[in-house]
Amino acid sequence: MRLPNLFQTRNGRFAAFFLLYVTEGIPLGFAATAVATQLRRQGVGPAEIGAFIGLFYLPWAFKWAFGPIVDVFAIERLGRRRGWILGTQIVMVATLFATSFLKLPEQLWLFSAILLVHNTFSATQDVAIDALAINTLNEHERATASGVMFAGASIGQMIGGSGALLVTSWFGFQSSFYFVSAAILLVTLFVVLPMKEAATPPRVRAAGSAMAAAGREMREFAVTAFKSFMGTRGAFVGLFMSLLPPGAMCLGLALQSNLAVELGMDDGAVATMNFWSTLIGAAGCLAGGLIADRFDRRRALTWYILLMSIPVFVMALVLQHFNWIMPIAPDADKPDVPTLLMTAFWATTLVYAFFNGMMYSATTAIFMDVTNPVVAGTQFTAYMAMFNLAISYSATWQGISIEAWGYPGTMIVDGFYGMLYLLVLPLTRKRPGDVAADNALAPGRARKLGLVLALLCLAWLPVHALESQFGAAKDIVNILFTLVFIASALFLLAGAALLGAVAGRLTRIGAWFSPLLLLMQVRNYQDGLAAKLGVSTQSLGATLDIFLYGVPLLAAVLLWQMSRHAWADLALPSTTEGEAGDTALPGAKLAAAS
């Protein structure tokens, strides 16, 4: 029997992209719900689970780097995008199948590494699917397709989360790996293989190797994104806003799975909760989008963030009331769980899911508002990448915080930290006379950003000197400074590209120096590094301190010097803010969630 090419008809195209996005949602639901639940059930602590979830989301924060690779490298006879989708899905299935042979929690490090590879290919698939959608869908089909894609991802998360947990409750945890692998493979066999991609004009091959061409595209992406961020006040504020969680995130991340296990919920009950929360969250996304389109969306988002904080605070107070503070080992003798506590957990999780969905739709729309339509794909992708980075570090710090401060304390801090978003949100509002790519003010914004990063690098010096006094908060502070060092490295690279001959030697030094800022991450692995080198942690630490003090200090000097230059070459084509919504990717409304 010959399978149909779904791209031949309008409804077929909708069905194809629905199913392709199902395969994107499956890994997210599987890791964040099914795997996180089983890890806690097997005695893995909240900090390790938080780090696992944070690592799993990390490739989505860097998927902008995969775009040039997908654009440049292609096997034309397989289809420029179809070949990538086919290849990534095969690797996704293979990596999931490989993890089924690992023993948890003993091999958690290898399990995490393989799933990191898996999710890297999943993020690459997302880039290829969005590119295919742009080339395949007619303009009048794109709004409907965006909703269809979001629905597909939601169904995928239910399959990977609720479905995998139900299979686990019937046949054991190992069977869930075969289940999710089979679900992805079915789409590969019945959608991707029969797919006939529309013919596209032959790609003009640039001079040099394909790898060099991909590198040039990455550089062009980074430069264009930097220029667009500096273009208007809204875009500049959006740069910082995208690195903040929009409201309390804890009841949508691993904290919820940890609590479910500790409160005695079996896999079937967790699956049911995940099913309803995902469904209610999708309804909230639709409702939130409709309201935000008809009324002032910044005011709407303010209410959404405040409302999604209420169930978090209520659950924190209930846990405090019943003295359910610190995490409890799954095999420990537990106190009886009061009915009111379990009822509150169900109610707050479902209410939170609805307002969380409303928040996602409005947040995505605001990022579209501050995006310059001329560079919409570049700028919006960069915003969503940083948003995913915020989700990643939120999952990580919450896991650490649960073990240090307990559940109620973590939830209270998460709720108030999420409200920082509301302080910068009004600054994204368009003012009379604002024009996207307002080139007169862009250089000043670049100089201010360089100066702020220089001061933050200097702030690391006393923080590192006093880190022993931070206690459990040390790891959380480290996460924040990791963001500072990454941002500083990117700023130095942007300076090398944009200042060029104007700054001369300074830009060349900055370009070569930026990788050292990324290597500051070595501070988190001193114990393992000392063991491999066969030296004591103390002696390695003394040697490493030269690096850990010297690099931020020199980076601060370079950043300060760059902030003194004119940054004149920041011009982008001028267009009115607020027109970006029609030019964003068809799957844009999902990007923040995925």
Whether 172 maps to a domain, the answer reads yes
Q: Are residues 430 and 448 in the same domain?
A: no
Whether 578 maps to a domain, the answer reads no
Beta bridge partners of 436: 575
* Amino acid sitting at position 232: T
In this structure, are residues 312 and 248 in contact, taking their beta carbons and an 8 Å threshold?
yes
Whether 249 maps to a domain, the answer reads yes
* Amino acid sitting at position 200: T
CB atoms within 10 A of CB 543: 10
Q: Are residues 273 and 343 in the same domain?
A: yes
Residue with tokens 């307990």: 406
Peptide bond into 573 cis (omega under 30): no
Whether 243 maps to a domain, the answer reads yes
pLDDT at position 583 is 35
Q: Are residues 316 and 339 in the same domain?
A: yes
pLDDT at position 547 is 93
Q: Are residues 459 and 321 in the same domain?
A: no
CB atoms within 10 A of CB 531: 12
Q: Who contacts 345 (Cβ-Cβ below 8 Å, separation ≥6)?
A: 259, 260, 263, 315, 318
Q: Are residues 142 and 222 in the same domain?
A: no
Following DSSP, what letter does each residue of 504-530 receive, concatenated? THHHHHHHHHHHHHHGGGGGGGHHHHH
pLDDT at position 214 is 63
Residues 85, 72: Cα–Cα separation, whole Å:
15
How many residues does this entry show for the chain? Answer: 594
Residues 147, 151, 152, 154, CA torsion sign: positive
In this structure, are residues 99 and 177 in contact, taking their beta carbons and an 8 Å threshold?
yes
What are the structure tokens assigned to 588, written together? 């844009």
Q: Are residues 430 and 452 in the same domain?
A: no
Q: What are phi and psi of 571, to 5 degrees?
A: -75, 135
Whether 130 maps to a domain, the answer reads yes
Whether 74 maps to a domain, the answer reads yes
Q: Are residues 23 and 76 in the same domain?
A: yes
Cα 23–27–32 angle (5° rounding)?
A: 145
The CATH number of the domain holding residue 182 is 1.20.1250.20
pLDDT in tens for each of the 594 residues of the chain? 677 778 788 888 888 989 999 999 999 899 988 999 999 988 888 988 988 888 888 888 777 777 777 777 777 777 778 899 999 999 999 999 999 888 888 888 899 889 989 999 998 898 888 878 877 877 667 656 766 787 788 889 999 999 999 999 999 999 999 999 999 999 999 999 988 876 665 555 555 566 676 667 667 767 777 887 887 788 888 888 998 999 999 999 889 989 999 998 999 999 999 999 988 988 888 888 888 888 888 999 999 999 999 999 999 999 999 999 998 877 667 778 899 999 999 999 999 999 998 898 888 888 878 877 666 666 777 788 888 888 888 988 999 899 988 999 999 999 999 999 999 999 888 766 555 445 577 888 889 999 999 999 999 999 999 988 877 677 778 888 988 998 898 889 888 888 876 667 888 888 889 899 988 988 877 777 777 778 887 888 888 899 999 999 999 999 999 998 888 777 655 544 444 333 333 333 333 334
pLDDT at position 523 is 83
Q: Are residues 117 and 22 in the same domain?
A: yes
pLDDT at position 5 is 77
Q: Are residues 255 and 163 in the same domain?
A: no
Domain that holds residue 50: 6-196
Radius of gyration of the chain, Cα coordinates, nearest whole angstrom: 24
pLDDT tens digits along 480-530: 898 899 889 888 988 888 887 666 788 888 888 989 998 898 887 777 777
Query: Residue 133, by phi and psi: left (phi above 0), alpha (psi -120 to 50) or beta?
Result: alpha
Whether 510 maps to a domain, the answer reads yes
Residues 261, 41: Cα–Cα separation, whole Å:
6
pLDDT at position 353 is 93
Q: Are residues 146 and 256 in the same domain?
A: no
Q: Tell me which long-range contacts 235-239 makes (C-beta under 8 A, separation of at least 24).
A: 235/370, 235/371, 235/372, 235/379, 235/436, 235/577, 236/445, 236/449, 237/370, 237/424, 237/427, 237/428, 238/366, 238/367, 238/370, 238/383, 238/428, 239/386
Dihedral of the alpha carbons of 218, 219, 222, 227, in degrees to the nearest 10: -140
Q: Who contacts 139 (Cβ-Cβ below 8 Å, separation ≥6)?
A: none
pLDDT at position 379 is 75
- Let me know if 8 is exposed, middle or buried by CB neighbors in 10 A (0-12, 13-18, 19+): exposed
In this structure, are residues 388 and 61 in contact, taking their beta carbons and an 8 Å threshold?
yes
Last residue of a domain, one of 139, 161, 196: 196
Q: Are residues 359 and 473 in the same domain?
A: no
Whether 411 maps to a domain, the answer reads yes
**Considering its fold, how many domains does the chain have in total?**
3
Q: Are residues 460 and 535 in the same domain?
A: yes
Which stretches within 466-572 are classed as H helix?
473-498, 505-518, 526-533, 537-563
Q: Who contacts 389 (Cβ-Cβ below 8 Å, separation ≥6)?
A: 58, 61, 243, 483
In this structure, are residues 460 and 470 in contact, taking their beta carbons and an 8 Å threshold?
no
What are the structure tokens assigned to 65, written together? 């780097």
pLDDT tens digits along 267-314: 999 999 999 998 898 888 888 888 888 888 899 999 999 999 999 999
What are the structure tokens assigned to 336, written together? 């009886």
Residues 545, 526: Cα–Cα separation, whole Å:
11
Last residue of a domain, one of 438, 464, 491: 438
**Does residue 452 sit in helix, strand or coil?**
helix
